[in-house]
Amino acid sequence: MRDLVDDPGSGDLEPEALLIRTRETLVGIEDFARRHDDHLGFAVRVAENLRDAADSLVVGEHYLRRRLRLAEGGGATAETEDLRLLVRAQALRLSIGEVRVRRQARASAELHRSLTRLRGDLDTAQLLCEIPRELGRLGYSRSLMSGLRGNTWRATSAYAHQDESLAGALVQVGSAMPGRIGREEPETEAVRGRTAVLVRDAQAQPRVHRELVTLGDTRDYATAPVIVHGSVVGLLHIDRHSQTEAVDEADRDLLGLFADGVGLALERARYHERISAMRRQFELQINGIDELTYGLTGWEELGGRPAPTHPYLSDGPLSELTRRELEVLRHLAGGASNQDIADRLSLSVGTVKTHVKGLLRKLGAANRADAAARFRALKG
């Protein structure tokens, strides 16, 4: 029995080594069936990746268990080598499961970090470029971001591990030959069902984006909708172009979570962009009011009485400044920073910077210190 347990099974083998050992074991099971002239037989299924390897080992285990039970009833002899084959198949299957679990655990931990980075100070355009790269950090060798308008989805950005030319080609093809909801079945299901979808053996599927699948030599992939303010605005695609690992249900679910986070990140970016646009418009309006209210170089007499004159207005350079610029200049000359001036006058720092540029130009001053010196000299 010790010989069975000490079989050089899997240990901590790398995925490539596990695949090699699995193929050898499956061939061994086929030889077992041939040696025992088993009419049930066992056909070797090529294990191209860890998922296929695990599935094939399950079938192999089931066959060996059934065949060895027949031996107990007087059929074929349950030799030590046959039992060793069963133990090896079990050990390999468990090791493959552990590798896949570890991989998924790492991806889940990285997911939080990826979404945190996407919630940073990025605008919408920067987000659209960064999203595929973050999927690359999650372990997917190729990823695609597409925008959805109406029933048409069109590629906007892509990532391909160590292959920028392929990433560019994916965007080019996905943009020149956009997909259409109702034509490509996986994307249609993702958009209409608002759920992530796993596609297996894409090369054999009739209703996929044939040009993209062919270009990427894609076998299995997952796609998920990006939802912003309750509407589907885009699609994400991932592929793992690996000889050992294929996209599976766990990847599909992870992509679904990532897509949810992307939707929130886009909402946040658009919110900040709208707020910034409103702030800029408000500042323009305030500046316009300042010009109308304080921008006169002199005061006309109203009702036969001279209008009050700003204490620093004169016929010199200061007469060209608006009242707001004069206020900014007065604080500037006192050594206040842009932030200090903004706080005192209830303005944004950006508006203060605009006023400083204006007064420097009107005074012909080289810098803030020069403007302050001229102000003090003119003030007397």
Per-residue pLDDT band for 68 (boundaries 50, 70, 90) equals: confident
Give the residue with greater pLDDT, 132 vs 363: 132
As a whole number of angstroms, the distance between CA 132 and CA 95 comes to 31
Per-residue pLDDT band for 310 (boundaries 50, 70, 90) equals: very low
- In order of start, what are the domains of the chain with their CATH numbers? 2-104 (no CATH), 122-271 (3.30.450.40), 295-379 (1.10.10.10)
Burial class from Cβ neighbours inside 10 Å (0-12, 13-18, 19+) for residue 309 reads exposed
- β-pair partners for 153: 148, 179
CA angle 200, 205, 207 (to 5 degrees): 120
- Given CA atoms 45, 51, 53, 58 in this order, what sign does their dihedral have? negative
The token pair at 336 is 């206040």
Torsion of CA 284, 289, 290, 291, to 10 degrees: 90
As a whole number of angstroms, the distance between CA 129 and CA 134 comes to 10
- β-pair partners for 199: 221
**0.75 exceeded by the pTM?**
no
Compute the average pLDDT of residues 235-263.
Answer: 89
Q: List, for residues 321-376, the tens digit of each pLDDT value.
A: 888 888 899 999 989 999 999 888 888 898 899 999 989 988 889 999 999 998 88
Q: List, for residues 82-110, the tens digit of each pLDDT value.
A: 788 888 888 888 888 888 778 777 888 88
Q: What is the pLDDT of residue 41?
A: 58
Within a 10 A sphere around the Cβ of 45, how many other Cβ atoms? 13
Q: What is the pLDDT of residue 380?
A: 60
- Range among 35-39, 40-44, 129-133 rated most confident: 129-133
Q: What is the pLDDT of residue 315?
A: 57
Q: Are 232 and 238 in contact (CB under 8 A)?
A: no
